[in-house]
Amino acid sequence: APSYPEYTREEVGRHRSPEERVWVTHGTDVFDVTDFVELHPGGPDKILLAAGGALEPFWALYAVHGEPHVLELLQQYKVGELSPDEAPAAPDAQDPFAGDPPRHPGLRVNSQKPFNAEPPAELLAERFLTPNELFFTRNHLPVPAVEPSSYRLRVDGPGGGTLSLSLAELRSRFPKHEVTATLQCAGNRRSEMSRVRPVKGLPWDIGAISTARWGGARLRDVLLHAGFPEELQGEWHVCFEGLDADPGGAPYGASIPYGRALSPAADVLLAYEMNGTELPRDHGFPVRVVVPGVVGARSVKWLRRVAVSPDESPSHWQQNDNKGFSPCVDWDTVDYRTAPAIQELPVQSAVTQPRPGAAVPPGELTVKGYAWSGGGREVVRVDVSLDGGRTWKVARLMGDKAPPGRAWAWALWELTVPVEAGTELEIVCKAVDSSYNVQPDSVAPIWNLMGMLSTAWHRVRVSVQD
C-alpha cells in the first residue's frame, strides 16, 4: 500500500483556492481536488465552499454523495492523511483564544476572536437541520475548556441551599426531552441595517440563524427537583451564567421569565445533545440552555449556574444589549433602562438562493429560503415577488408540522418560476405567522443603533443571462 504524507488540519486549511490548490478531507484522508473543481457535476462553486476542510457536513446536505461511485471518484485525488490527533493548543497567556476549538474553514467569519461565523447563505436552507459544523456560532468570549468528569451545574434552590449536578446526574436523574428548535441571533441581517446608517455590532448577513434537534433535561424538571413551585406570585426570573467570563471576571449571563422556564409547553431545555451528538465546544459543551422561540442570547452556553431572582440577570448582555430602540435614539441619548430585553423574536424570512448579484440561467428559476417566527408562532405563508414587491406569488412551505403554539423550528420554502433571458429581477420575500404578524417592508423605519431585529422584507437583485 502506498504510504502518504501527513498533514495537519491547519495545513489542509491553507488550500482553499485553485491558485493555492484546493484540498479537502474525508475521514482522515486528504485530497487535492483542484483538477476536479471544474468537472464537479454540482458546479465548481459548491466544492469551493468546502475547500480547506471536511466534506462531511456539506455532503450531509446532498445525499447523492452517499453513493459508492462518489467515494471511488474522490479516491483518485488522494494526496495525504491527517496527522493523528494534533496536540490541543497549549494555554497561551498572551492569547486567551488560543484554546478555542478548530472550525471548518468554509464558515463565513465575522470575527475570529471571539469567534463569530455563519454558514454560507446558499446552503442555509438546503436541509431542515443545520449540520453542527455549519451551525452559526456567536461567541462573546474565549470558549471554555471543560473537563466533563469534573463539570458541575449549580442550581440555587429556594431555601438558600444549592443543588450541584454532574453531567452524569443531569443525564440520568431527569428524563431526556428532545426538541427541534431554531436559534436566531438578534443581530441576524444586521449588515442590511448598516447600509441605511452605520450601526454597532457584527456585520451578520442572513446566516445568524440555524436549526438543530436538541436533547437534554427540561429546565422545568430540574427546577422542580430543586424545590421550586409550579408558579410564583409576582415577577420572577430564571438567571443563567456561563463558564465564559470577561477579563473582569463577569460571566456571560442572561435570564428568562419564570413562567416560561416552568411551562411544560415552552420546552426549555438544559441541552447536552445537538443533532444526536454531544454538544460541540463552540455550542456550549457540555451543557447549554435552549429557549425555543426566544432570541439566541438567552440560550446560555457552557452553563455553570441557574438561579431564580426577582430581577432579570444583571449581565451586560441582558441589561445593555439585545434591546430594541426607536430610530431617533442615538449613542448620546440611549437609556437602556427604557427598553425591555428582547425575548420572543418577531417574524423573519430570507432568500437563501439565488444570492445577490447572481446571473441565473433563463428558463426556470427556483427561489429558496427560510422563514421563522418567535414564541412558537408557526409560519403560515411566505409571499415572494420577482418585481420588487409589485406582484406576488405564494411559496411552497416545507417542514414538520408542529403542535399549535410550539412551532420552534423554521419553515423552509421554495418557489419555481419562469424567468426571461436578459431581464433584471428584484426578488423579495416576506413571511406571515400564525398571529398574522408580517415583516416591515423596508429597513429605515426599524433602524436602531445596535442593528437588532432586522426583519424587513428581504430583497435580492439578480440578472437573468441572455
Ligand X SMILES: Nc1nc2c(c(=O)[nH]1)N[C@H]1C(S)=C(S)[C@@H](COP(=O)(O)O)O[C@H]1N2
Could you list the residues that contact ligand X (CB under 6 A)?
135-141, 183, 185, 242, 244, 252, 283, 296-297, 299-302
State in angstroms the smallest separation of the CB of 6 from ligand HEM: 20
Contact 466, 201 (CB under 8 A): no
Across the chain, which distance is largest between two alpha carbons, in Å?
74
Dihedrals φ, ψ of 291, to 5°? -110, 95
State in angstroms the smallest separation of the CB of 300 from Mo ion: 11
Which of the residues 57 through 76 are near ligand HEM (CB under 6 A)? 58, 62, 64-65, 67, 70, 73-74
Q: Please report the sign of the dihedral spanned by the C-alpha atoms of residue 349, residue 352, residue 358, residue 359.
A: negative
Q: Which residue has the cell 411552497?
A: 396
State in angstroms the smallest separation of the CB of 279 from ligand HEM: 24
What kind and span of H or E run contains 72?
helix 68-75
Q: Does 84 bind ligand HEM (CB under 6 A)?
A: no
User: What does 107 bind: Mo ion, ligand X, ligand HEM, none (CB cut-off 5 to 8 Å by kind)?
Assistant: none
Residue span binding ligand HEM (CB under 6 A) among the ranges 36-44, 176-184, 241-249, 356-364: 36-44
State in angstroms the smallest separation of the CB of 185 from Mo ion: 3
Q: How many helices (H) and strands (E) does the chain have?
A: 10, 27
State in angstroms the smallest separation of the CB of 53 from ligand HEM: 10
Q: Which residue has the cell 414587491?
A: 389
State in angstroms the smallest separation of the CB of 41 from ligand HEM: 4
- Give dist(CA 77, CA 57) in Å, integer: 20
Q: Does 121 bind ligand HEM (CB under 6 A)?
A: no
Q: Does 300 bind Mo ion (CB under 5 A)?
A: no
**Which of 12, 30, 54, 55 is the binder for ligand HEM (CB under 6 A)?**
55
Closer residue to ligand HEM, CB minimum distance, 32 or 344: 32
Question: How big is the site for ligand HEM, counted in residues (CB under 6 A)?
Answer: 19
- Give dist(CA 16, CA 52) in Å, integer: 5
User: What does 242 bind: ligand HEM, Mo ion, ligand X, none (CB cut-off 5 to 8 Å by kind)?
Assistant: ligand X
What is the 8-class DSSP label of residue 38?
A: G
Closer residue to Mo ion, CB minimum distance, 202 or 397: 202
Q: How far is CA 345 from CA 63, 74, 151, 179, in A?
A: 33, 44, 32, 18
Cis peptide before 114 (omega within 30 of 0): yes
Closer residue to Mo ion, CB minimum distance, 134 or 462: 134
User: What does 299 bind: Mo ion, ligand X, ligand HEM, none (CB cut-off 5 to 8 Å by kind)?
Assistant: ligand X
Contact 137, 282 (CB under 8 A): yes
Beta partners for 367?
415
**Which of 185, 212, 443, 449 is the binder for Mo ion (CB under 5 A)?**
185
Q: Which residue has the cell 475547500?
A: 51
Q: Please report the sign of the dihedral spanned by the C-alpha atoms of residue 199, residue 204, residue 206, residue 210.
A: negative
Q: How far is CA 173 from CA 96, 218, 305, 421, in A?
A: 35, 11, 18, 63
Number of neighbours of residue 334 by Cβ within 10 angstroms: 15
User: What does 40 bind: Mo ion, ligand HEM, ligand X, none (CB cut-off 5 to 8 Å by kind)?
Assistant: ligand HEM
Residue nearest to ligand X (CB): 242
**Which of 22, 297, 306, 367 is the binder for Mo ion (CB under 5 A)?**
297
φ/ψ bin of 322: left (φ > 0), alpha (ψ from -120 to 50), beta (otherwise): left
Closer residue to ligand HEM, CB minimum distance, 416 or 442: 416
User: What does 139 bind: Mo ion, ligand X, ligand HEM, none (CB cut-off 5 to 8 Å by kind)?
Assistant: ligand X
Dihedrals φ, ψ of 329, to 5°? -85, 130
User: What does 47 bind: ligand HEM, Mo ion, ligand X, none (CB cut-off 5 to 8 Å by kind)?
Assistant: ligand HEM
Closer residue to ligand HEM, CB minimum distance, 31 or 457: 31
Where does this chain bind ligand HEM (CB under 6 A)?
24, 33, 36, 40-42, 46-47, 49-50, 55, 58, 62, 64-65, 67, 70, 73-74
